[in-house]
Amino acid sequence: MITINETHEYTFDGKMIPGVTEIIRETIGGQWSVSDWYLTRGKAIHKCAEFIVKGYKFIFDERLSGYVTAIKKFFAEVKPKPIFDGGEIVVYSQLYKFAGTIDLPCIIGNKGVVVDYKHSIDHERLKLQCGGYSQAILEDKGFDLKYGAGVEIREDGTYSMTELFPLQTPRREFIAIRTAYGIKERMKLLSYQRKD
């Protein structure tokens, strides 16, 4: 069984495994070093998105009001149909031994889409991330989501969404960097070496 802790570390049957964003950061690099405030804000925004998917009325910190407005606009205008009740889901690749949390696996139009909410979008990393998620959800849940999209949620109450992009190539590329991550891990070259 896959579990995740509050610092987004994944465990499968008691053994720590890497997450999609960790694999990308370790192999491609990235700017994912943020303060506790931004991490907490991100978790709160994702929880608000979950409540919106479920149709709940909820109270939230007014500092998040622009983000909540943006998420509501995205759902009202794009009309994604969530595949799972709460939207967000943790998935695991048994074959490649990694996990990830998909913000919104859904149907947009007639296409299966991996949607990732972002504060800002780096298109190349987004494609790799969605490619990894699509591999994991295919193995774990049997859904072959062939498209990805990023939704930039803004503090001013607006959002922007990327074009839907096919995931066939990003899925293969993610598997390649997962292999590179495994080599770095074996050679003890990771910036953060796991304790098993």
Mean pLDDT (10-residue bins), the chain, 196 residues:
85 93 90 66 92 94 96 97 91 97 97 96 96 98 98 98 98 98 95 64
pTM over 0.75: yes
Ordered DSSP codes for 88-110: -EEEEETTTTEEEEESEEEEETT
DSSP 13: T
Distance, in Å, from the CA atom of 180 to the CA atom of 177, rounded to the nearest integer, reads 5
Task: Break the chain into its structural domains and give their ranges.
Answer: 2-186
Distance, in Å, from the CA atom of 117 to the CA atom of 79, rounded to the nearest integer, reads 15
Tokens linked to 16: 């720590």
Residue 155's pLDDT is: 96
Number of other residues whose CB lies within 10 A of the CB of residue 123: 11
Residue 130's pLDDT is: 98
Ordered DSSP codes for 26-49: HHH-------HHHHHHHHHHHHHH
Tokens linked to 47: 């929880």
Tokens linked to 105: 């696996």
Question: 31-66 burial string, b = 16+ CB within 10 Å, else e?
Answer: eeeeeeeeeebbebbbebbbbbbeeeeeeeeeebee
Tokens linked to 100: 């990830």
Residue 41's pLDDT is: 87
- Contact status, residue 194 vs residue 185, Cβ threshold 8 Å: yes
Stretch (H or E) spanning 181: helix 168-186
Residue 8's pLDDT is: 76
Residue 79's pLDDT is: 97
> Could you name the CATH architecture of 2-186?
Alpha-Beta Complex (3.90)
Distance, in Å, from the CA atom of 90 to the CA atom of 188, rounded to the nearest integer, reads 27
